[in-house]
Every structure is written in C-alpha cells, then in structure tokens.
Structure 1
C-alpha cells in the first residue's frame, strides 16, 4: 500500500516522443531529485550495484548530500542498472501513485537513451543486441561457435574479450543448429484429445530469440506439455521483442519492433489464439513495456491483453480446465529462482505455482536477483559485479541442496549454476543442468528424458 493511497503501484508511460524527455538539464534535475529521495531512504542498498554506488558517491562527497555529487558521476549509477525493475516492484515506497513519483529503472533508461542519442551506441554493442540477426547467422556454424565460446577455450575467449568486450569467464548460451520454428515444423506433436482443456484453448508460442536460436529444448518441452493438455499450439517468431535494444536506450528501434511483432501476432488473436511468450523478458515487453513506449497504440494494448507468460499460461489452464493426468514426483526437489522479469509482471510467483502442481515435489523458492542482466552481465566491466550480485541467490540454491536448479530466465539459470560452481570452500552439488520450469514439468509427465 502506498502512503495516502489504497491504489496499487502504477507506471506512467515513457514520454520519449516529447522534447522534454531528451533535455539533459531537465534529466539531471530529475536524477538529483530522485537520488535525494533514495539517499534518505536506502531500502534498496542490497538489490544491485546501482544503489551502493550512489550512496558511496554521496557519503564520500564534500557535503555528504546529493548536491556534492558531480553530475558526470550520475552515469556511474546508471551503468550498474540492469533494468530488472525490482526496486520499483518490491522495495520502493515512493512509486506512483505516491506524490514523489519515483520510477528509478525508467529514470535510468531515460539517462541511457539520452546518452545514446548524444554519443551514439558502439558498433559491437549494437551488433550484439541484434539477437535475431546473430542467432540466424549462428545456425549455419553452430558447432564452431559453440567450440569458440566455451569458457574453457581461453584462446578464443580472450580474443572475444579483446574484440567484443565479453568477459572471458562469462558462460555464454550455446547456439542451436536449427531454430525452434524449424524443429516445431519438422516434429509435430500429437494432441491429447482426452485432456480437460482439449477444444477450449489454442495458443501461439512467441518463440523469442533465446528459445528460437539457443535453447530449443524449452520450446520442445512447451509444445509437449501443451499437447498433453489438449492445447493446439503454433510457433511464430516474426522478430525480436527489442529487449536488448531497450537495455541500450534505443527506444525508436524498440517501438519499431513492437509494431512489427504486433502486426504479425494480432491476426492469431483474432482467430481465438492466446499469445504465449516463452521467456519472461519477452513477456514483460509485450505485456508492459510496449504499452508504456507506445501508449496510444490500440494494437499494442490489445496484444498486451492477449499475452501470457509461459508459466502463467500453464497455471491458467490448470485453474480453468484442470491438467491432464500423469504428473510424477520430481526426485530431489527443485530450487527455483524467481526471475526478475517474471516478478516484474506483477502476476505472482507463477513458476513456483506451476511446479507445485507436480505431486510430492519440494520446491524451494529463491527471491534474489541472479545478477546476470542479459548482455550486461557478460560484459568485461560487469561480470565480476554480476557474480557478486548473484552470490546470495547461488548460496541459497546451495543451501537448498536440491537435485535441480531452475529459473524462468535461461540466462539467470546458467549464471546461477556458474556462480554455485565458483563458490569457495563448498562442495557444490552438481545439478545435471540448469532448467526452465517447463522442462521439469515435461519430465514429470515423462515427455522428455532426464538429462545427466
């Protein structure tokens, strides 16, 4: 509950098409105002590295207040922000409708956008954020790429660090040799007509760049689970949602992506299909970020209302229709990291709720940021910070001592396992893989074999 209001937290649209948004003096004034509020509160000191940086700048300054921090140092605070939204969603008591109107992540995004327009975005950063292009090209040389990016191959990783600024120790996602779209077309699944939901639901899976080009196993598990539950599913990936470009402050490209993807997906909505995004970052974009970037676009609003996060969708089927029989317990239990971009959707812990539908299975929830932040956490200047921020979550997973570690964010899952393996003085339990919850759900149905 917010001070003086019984209303839920709300977010204002990004006024990025207004000249005011790009006024650097106005931006610095707003950052000073918000930083002063954060200085007086300090509830977010342990969320990420942005707030310790801010508080150190203030405490070590000549006045001990925000007015002692040089404006050029504001960039240090912004550069540590991964846009995870957790300060807005879980900590800050001053978010709208509070009169102080604090939205720290979107303020950092505004600063990033202003700097990107003023100075441009680096060539390598821009190319890395073109995940569709990189992913499609990568399918033609997947074995070579996977050999080159393996963190054990230090010769190629040091070269990659020097050329692209990707830390030599950061674990990178493997490249798939065929896309999820191709796999789904080549290996259709049979629909279970005896399932309670049969004939009542049909879905379009927005493949997302990550599942389409890297982790097709997540997509295959999703198709299998939905088919077992009588849901007809189609696979579509018209373009990237724009999240990597959002992280660079390139709002115009994000808006263009929103229009492209919505134009491709809305005809399916008109035919009665639900839209299901396979990763939480992409679901967040379709459901929340796009409507804030293009608030006057009715197509974007309509797509937002029709979109489900993957775990949210399975839980919705269970509640409204019931699940097909056949779920077996998962031995050893699951440590489930609640991904920040899943939590930011304000829908509850749907990943945990879904896994708890599996009988006699212990689900230990981890509510700390993994520290990864997408491309951010792989950068040379950020990797050590990503490890530091992820340590509490990794320690929680170690303490839980489960057979499985999972996160709805595949990058977070891999990063957590890596940080667990880096833990000093501990005998790390070796999970056979870092899973998405839907993969565990599929194995509980006996639809996929257990990896080792």
Structure 2
C-alpha cells in the first residue's frame, strides 16, 4: 500500500437512499476502519477538535489502540466535526482514489443521518437550522430581536443559554427588517455601459439566507461592484441551500432544497445567466455537495457548472474582461482569513486575488493572509457546549490577527469573521498598541469601499 496519492482527490456520491447507509453496525465497522487509519497517521491533529478527541480516546485506552475504545464513546468525536472539509481537501493522504478510500467528513455526516433516522434528533439544532423561518420571524421585530440577542444583555442571554443552548458570551449576527432581496428591488443598480466588459455578462445573485436576513451589506456591495463592471443583474432567493440542515444530517431536507433551487435557476442558466453565491458554504453546496447527494439530477449538474463564488467571479471579470476604473487604495491594512468552505471549493485563493486588485495590495503590501480554521463551524460555534471549543480552535487565527494589527479584519465567511473578531478582542485586550477593528468585513465590502461604492 502506498502512502498518499499523486492523483487529485475525488469524492464518491452519497448512497443515502440505500438502507445500508443507515445501518448502525455497518457504520460502526466503517468508523473503526477509518479511525484506526487516522490513529496511525495523526496528520490532522491540529485541524479541529474531532481528531484530538479521537486520539485522546485511543491513548487513554488500556492498550493504546482503538480496539479497546467503546463505540458509545465515538459520539463526541462526531459532534465536534463541523463539516469544514479541510481534512479531506488539505491534509488526508488517503482520500479517493487512494485504496484506503477515506472521507472523514462524509462519514461523520452518515453517522448523524443514521442518528436522525433512528429518532435521535438534536431538537435545538433543528430549530437553529431553520434559517428561513427564523430570518422571516426575526425580521418582523429586528430591533427587539437584536436587543435581546446582544452580547452582554443580562436580561436575556442567560435565558437564551438555558432554553436555546446558545452560549451567553457568543456574538450573534443581527437581523434586518429589510432583506437584501428587498433592498435590491428598491435599488436595482443598472449595469455600467462604460465598463470594459459591459454587455458580456448576465448574473443572478443568489442572496443566501445569511446575506438576505443577517448581512444585506454584503449583497449590496456585490451588487454594486458587478453593476459597476457592466454585469446585467438580478437578485433572487429561492430558499436556503441547506448547509445548516446538512450539519443536522437531514439529507431528505437538503435534497428537497437542492431540487427547488436548481429548478428555479435552470431557466435563467438557459438564458445565459451565471449564478453567483455570496457565501462560500452555499457555493460549496451548489458546486459539490448537491451533485454528490443527487448525482443523476440534470438540473443539479447544470447549476453546479454555472455557479461561481462572488470573489471567484469578480477575479474572473478582471482576468477576462478587465475591471472598470475607479479602484483606490484603502485606508489601512487588511488581515484576510481564508474560509474553510472557500478553500474546499478547490478554486485557489480567490479572496487574496480579489484584494490584490486594489492599489496598494497588488504586491501584497499591508495584506496579511491567514489560512487556518476560525473554529466557528456554523451554528455549532454558538452552542453552549462548543463555543469555548470553537474559541480554542480559532485561537491561533485570533492571535495572528492581533499580531498583524491591521485596520481591517475580513473573511469570506461572515460567521467566521464575527468569531475571529471576538477572538481578537480576547487575545488583544492586554496588548499595547492593539486596536480592535470596528467591524468584521467580507472581502467584497472592502472592494466596494475601494471603488467608493458604499
């Protein structure tokens, strides 16, 4: 058996409609096969908390081997996985086409799906992952919801921790009464006819649940940048991509969402529209996860081939059409975090390429790049049992950002950006000369400011 493979990683479709997929004995056998290989390798010891938990279990056993670890003790290892995909994409030498055929994140997903099928659901996780329902309801009373969820609110955050399992100290995203889709309809941002590539591109911006309900400014920034560069635009939101439901192992729900969104965009793709996702997790779902869940669906394949991450798309415009003039240097340096789900798209570091289009960053000046997990992991990172774990996993990122001490902190993942900034607040509180950035940004927000569009 060879160590590692020279071939590019590939992934097998999820056989989730086969009853064997949910067979607990077969899952346990596969867990033991994979965990034993991981035990002999340990290359992923510092990626997340799943691997230290696994290795601690094995090291504490009487023989120091997996055979003495009880299967019931595997659950904390599974619970600590955030499905970031970094072990699969960046570390593991044994992923397909290697004969060991390891796919650690999808095995964790299979375990959760089987738990769910057996009736062992995470009731609170189920509620937190209902993003469309939560976003619509919270938007009806956004000021009150934001007051109640504000960190430091002694009247409400203790109650939220007791009832909703949300850690009292976790910074939570705000909600907005006017969604990104509503803002886009009110201000459609017509294409700039003088842009170098004007008339060459049509794009449909997929608002995503987070941008639509929690961070419309990201969408507005993307909308203005693309319109300024001559792209004919529309903004749509046919529903959540299902990543929060994937984390819960609800594959039936994810498949239904995938079909709905793919059917919505199919006619637009036929009309020549590119589909732009504003959050890396959503782009990853559309490009890679949905085709593995529904490999025989032609509309899913069509959408995957037409989907771009927002940073990827702007960089593509710059390379193929040329950018519209007007970019000016930003005031202050940037610490840029590369989101795990952007890295897992295997498209290169497009956020770095994007910011290097801004004068002053073109040769890397005053631009620091961090290529490591932030530790947030979606709703996982705000849960009572995992918040401090997530802060620990993200501590190296926060420490590096504090050391860089730039004017701006940015990440392609909005939740990661918030989490990193909170980590910076902790790590930098006693550091002389450290100034906490006023806000956490998406790279496209910085790019729009460099254009003077925000």
TM bucket, shorter chain? over 0.9
**Correspondence for 2:149:** 149
Structure 1 runs, 4 residues or longer, greater than 6 Å off? none
Q: Distance in 1 between matches of 2:246 and 2:424?
A: 29
**Correspondence for 1:197:** 197
Most deviating of 328-337 and 56-65: 328-337
Count of equivalent residues: 447
Instruction: Say whether residues 1:355 and 2:355 are aligned partners.
Output: yes
Q: Deviations over 1:21-77 (max 9, x none)?
A: 111111000100100010000010001000000000000001111101100011110
**Correspondence for 1:299:** 299
Q: What displacement does 1:426 show?
A: 2.3
Is the partner of 1:323 in helix, strand or coil? Answer: coil
Q: Distance in 2 between matches of 1:404 and 1:410?
A: 14
Gaps of 5+ in 2: none
Q: Which of the numbers 425, 431, 436 marks the counterpart of 1:426? A: 431
**Correspondence for 2:444:** 438
Q: Distance in 1 between matches of 2:47 and 2:226?
A: 36
Most deviating of 285-294 and 323-332: 323-332
Q: Which of the numbers 393, 397, 406 marks the counterpart of 1:393? A: 397
**Correspondence for 1:59:** 59
Most deviating of 242-251 and 326-335: 326-335
Is the partner of 2:145 in helix, strand or coil? Answer: helix
**Correspondence for 2:91:** 91
- Contact residue 4 and residue 93 of structure 2 kept, 8 A: no
- Contact residue 4 and residue 94 of structure 2 kept, 8 A: no
TM-score by length of 2: 0.97
Q: Deviations over 1:318-357 (max 9, x none)?
A: 1110101111112221110000000000101001110001
**Correspondence for 2:385:** 381
Q: Deviations over 1:166-202 (max 9, x none)?
A: 0000110000111111000011213211111110011
Q: What displacement does 1:6 show?
A: 3.8
Q: Deviations over 1:386-431 (max 9, x none)?
A: 1000100111111112110000000000100001101163244221
What does 1:233-312 align with in structure 2 at a 5 Å threshold? 233-312=233-312
Is the partner of 1:235 in helix, strand or coil? Answer: strand
- Contact residue 190 and residue 233 of structure 2 kept, 8 A: no
Q: Deviations over 1:238-284 (max 9, x none)?
A: 11100000000000000000001111111110110000001000000
**Correspondence for 2:337:** 337
Q: Distance in 1 between matches of 2:300 and 2:161?
A: 38
- Contact residue 122 and residue 248 of structure 2 kept, 8 A: no
Q: What displacement does 1:4 show?
A: 7.3
Is the partner of 1:34 in helix, strand or coil? Answer: helix
Q: What displacement does 1:3 show?
A: 5.0
Gaps of 5+ in 1: none
- Contact residue 5 and residue 93 of structure 2 kept, 8 A: no
The alignment's C-alpha RMSD in Å is 1.1
Q: Deviations over 1:62-111 (max 9, x none)?
A: 11111011000111100110000010111111111100001111111111
Q: Distance in 1 between matches of 2:124 and 2:336?
A: 33
Q: What displacement does 1:128 show?
A: 1.3
- Contact residue 190 and residue 232 of structure 2 kept, 8 A: no
TM-score by length of 1: 0.97
Q: Distance in 2 between matches of 1:425 and 1:32?
A: 45
Q: Distance in 2 between matches of 1:114 and 1:329?
A: 52
Instruction: Say whether residues 1:16 and 2:16 are aligned partners.
Output: yes
**Correspondence for 1:367:** 371
**Correspondence for 1:106:** 106
Q: Distance in 2 between matches of 1:120 and 1:277?
A: 33
- Contact residue 158 and residue 168 of structure 2 kept, 8 A: yes
Q: What displacement does 1:122 show?
A: 3.5
